């Protein structure tokens, strides 16, 4: 059984059109070993996504130890600035030189940046090394999800991409549990000392990126047939340009909301006085589990667009609930309700990401796939950087911070309804057949 399918089938699957007779026959004829191969490959991609989560989120647990909003904003936004640069470069490289090779190089760069951040002697140095780490993490994302889409089987393509996306939860849990186990509640990031516990934490968080780089250094065979190996194409046809513009709004809203809250959850909990920051962060990471399950079960059943719009709409509603709770809820129930609302925001956002990743990876022709995902991720990184700056200025006013986040999530949900009709996207997706 082939691990790839025709572009026309790709677009058919993305809108839940029934598989063709040929696809059904191929699935029925597959041996158990052949059936497992795509999932084994997807597990490797999931490991890369988990390593990305560790490197992106580890700094959030160090923000409390930094003094002043400017220092916090510089460190928290550094990784997203790097991801902005890396996303575009990784997309271009993934289309030109192969997905697996690009992932290997990108994660190696993320490791170097993570180690550099752990050894930093000042806020400025840490912010710069976080840019390097972000460039690596951002460079891995476009080829990662492009390859996930290409390796997924027949009608299970959506579940395959959702499976890869679900590994983000493992990375976020690793970073949160490690912080709980190693970092003190009153952490102070002391750059003058090279024996601080925060340095060991940052160094350990860099190791998963190295492991993934080594893994993909030996798994270049995953690239067979996945890339044209020609120079990446930027000549998007009009239907794809329209799709890029609309999906950019969706990426902006979802990335602003998710990365804004995820990065600042420890500071937000501390400012609002609603519990132990590290414990809440672990619960917050665990909340992605139901979101992943819902995304996995529904993505091929109700469609990418419905799941995406519904998940983002729910995130905005739960964000409003969180605002109301933080503003007027009685002290006796305030902490419980606030934590519950935050968990619901994260769960629904996670389901939205599964749909967004699948839709982005499936809507463009093969020779432009990673490039398109890279450009959309770049827009998301701009939103992520904006969220760090906004949240740094609003960190002393948790209700207002969450209100801004909910508004952007609502904007992203509304933009989904402006996507072109499925048949328009289908025609754009088949203009360059897989070779």
Q: What is the three-class DSSP state of 367?
A: helix
Q: What is the pLDDT of residue 233?
A: 54
| Exposed e or buried b per residue across 289-323, where buried means at least 16 C-beta atoms within 10 angstroms of its C-beta | ebbbebbbebbbeebbbebbbbbbbbbbbbbbbbb
- Stated as kind and residue range, the H or E segment containing 123 is helix 123-151
Domain range annotation of the chain: 11-16+38-223+232-429
Cα distances (angstroms) measured from residue 339 to each of 100, 276, 319, 333, 365: 39, 11, 11, 10, 42
Say how many C-beta atoms besides its own lie within 10 A of residue 399's C-beta. Answer: 15
Position 153 scores a pLDDT of 58
CATH no. for 11-16+38-223+232-429:
1.20.1250.20
Q: DSSP state, 227?
A: -
Q: Give the pair of three-digit tokens for residue 23.
A: 């696809």
Structure tokens at 84: 């902005």
Give the per-residue pLDDT at 110: 95
Find the Cα–Cα–Cα–Cα dihedral 264, 416, 144, 101, rounded to 10°.
Answer: -110
Other CB atoms closer than 10 Å to residue 333's CB: what's the count?
11
What is the C-alpha separation between 146 and 370, in angstroms, rounded? 6
Identify the CA nearest to 84 among candidates 43, 35, 133, 134: 134
Six token digits for residue 59: 């700094």
CA distance 294 to 354: 9
Using alpha carbons, select from 97, 95, 358, 106 the residue that is nearest to residue 234: 95
- What is the phi/psi pair of residue 397, to 5°? -130, 75
**Residue (of 34, 5, 364, 19) closest to 150 by Cα position:** 5
User: What is the pLDDT at residue 116?
Assistant: 94
Rounded Cα–Cα distance for residues 190 and 123 (Å): 10
Q: What is the DSSP letter of 372?
A: H
pLDDT computed for residue 336 by the predictor:
82
- Dihedrals phi, psi of 170, to nearest 5 degrees: -65, -40
User: At how many degrees (to 10) do helices 157-182 and 32-57 cross?
Assistant: 40
**What does each C-alpha distance from 40 to 23, 44, 127, 292, 359 come to in angstroms?**
20, 7, 36, 19, 22
User: Which tokens hold the place of 409?
Assistant: 């999530």
Structure tokens at 14: 């993305």
Residues 312, 41: Cα–Cα separation, whole Å? 29
pLDDT at residue 72, rounded to an integer: 84
What sign has the CA pseudo-torsion 102, 107, 110, 115? Answer: negative
Write down the pLDDT at residue 35: 47
> Given this model, what pLDDT does residue 34 score?
44
CA distance 145 to 129: 25
Supply the pLDDT for residue 221.
Answer: 61
Q: What pLDDT tens digit does each residue of the chain (435 aa) get?
A: 333 333 333 333 333 333 333 333 333 344 444 445 577 788 888 999 999 999 988 888 888 788 877 888 888 888 888 988 888 787 777 777 778 888 899 999 999 999 999 999 899 999 999 999 999 998 888 888 888 877 775 666 678 888 888 898 899 899 989 998 998 878 888 888 777 889 999 999 999 999 999 988 876 566 644 444 444 556 677 777 888 888 888 889 888 888 777 777 766 676 666 667 778 778 888 888 888 888 888 888 888 888 988 988 888 888 888 888 878 878 778 778 888 888 888 888 888 888 888 888 777 777 777 788 888 888 888 888 888 788 777 777 778 878 888 888 888 888 888 876 655 555 555 443 332
> Model-level pTM?
0.71
The pLDDT value recorded for residue 223 is: 60
DSSP characters over 276-287 = -HHHHHHHHHHT
Q: Tell me which residue of 80, 88, 175 sits closest to 140, measured CA to CA.
A: 88
């Amino acid at each position: 059984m082939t691990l790839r399918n025709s572009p026309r089938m790709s677009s058919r699957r993305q809108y839940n059109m029934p598989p063709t007779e040929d696809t059904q026959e191929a699935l029925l004829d597959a041996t158990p070993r052949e059936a497992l191969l795509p999932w084994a490959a997807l597990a490797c991609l999931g490991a890369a996504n988990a390593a990305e989560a560790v490197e992106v989120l580890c700094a959030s647990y160090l923000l409390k130890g930094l003094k002043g909003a400017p220092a916090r904003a510089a460190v928290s936004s550094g990784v997203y600035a790097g991801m902005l640069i890396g996303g575009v470069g990784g997309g271009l490289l993934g289309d030109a030189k192969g997905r697996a090779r690009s992932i290997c190089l990108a994660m190696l760069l993320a490791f170097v940046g993570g180690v550099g951040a752990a050894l930093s002697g000042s806020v400025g140095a840490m912010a710069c090394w976080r840019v390097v780490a972000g460039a690596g993490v951002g460079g891995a994302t476009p080829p990662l999800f492009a390859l996930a889409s290409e390796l997924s089987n027949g009608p299970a393509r959506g579940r395959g991409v959702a499976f890869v996306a679900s590994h983000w939860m493992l990375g976020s849990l690793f970073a949160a549990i490690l912080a709980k186990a190693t970092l003190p509640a009153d952490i102070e990031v002391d750059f003058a000392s090279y024996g601080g516990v925060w340095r060991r934490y940052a160094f350990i968080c860099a190791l998963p990126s190295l492991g993934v780089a080594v893994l993909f250094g030996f798994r270049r065979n995953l690239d067979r047939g996945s890339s044209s190996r020609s120079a990446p194409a930027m000549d998007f046809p009009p239907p794809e340009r329209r799709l890029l513009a609309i999906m950019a709004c969706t990426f902006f809203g979802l990335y602003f909301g998710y990365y804004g809250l995820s990065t600042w959850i420890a500071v937000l909990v501390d400012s609002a006085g609603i519990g132990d920051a590290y414990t809440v962060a672990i619960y917050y990471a665990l909340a992605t589990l139901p979101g992943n399950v819902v995304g996995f079960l529904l993505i091929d059943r109700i469609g990418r667009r419905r799941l995406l719009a519904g998940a983002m709409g729910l995130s905005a509603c739960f964000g409003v609930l969180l605002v109301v709770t933080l503003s007027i809820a009685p002290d006796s129930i305030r902490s419980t309700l606030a934590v519950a609302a935050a968990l619901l925001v994260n769960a629904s956002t996670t389901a939205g990401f599964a749909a967004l990743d699948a839709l982005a990876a499936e809507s463009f022709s093969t020779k432009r796939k990673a490039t398109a995902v890279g450009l959309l991720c770049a827009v998301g990184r701009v939103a992520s950087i904006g969220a760090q700056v906004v949240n740094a200025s609003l960190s002393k006013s948790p209700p207002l911070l969450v209100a801004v986040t909910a508004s952007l999530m609502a904007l992203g949900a509304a933009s989904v309804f402006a996507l072109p009709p499925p048949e328009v996207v289908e025609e754009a997706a088949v203009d360059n057949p897989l070779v």
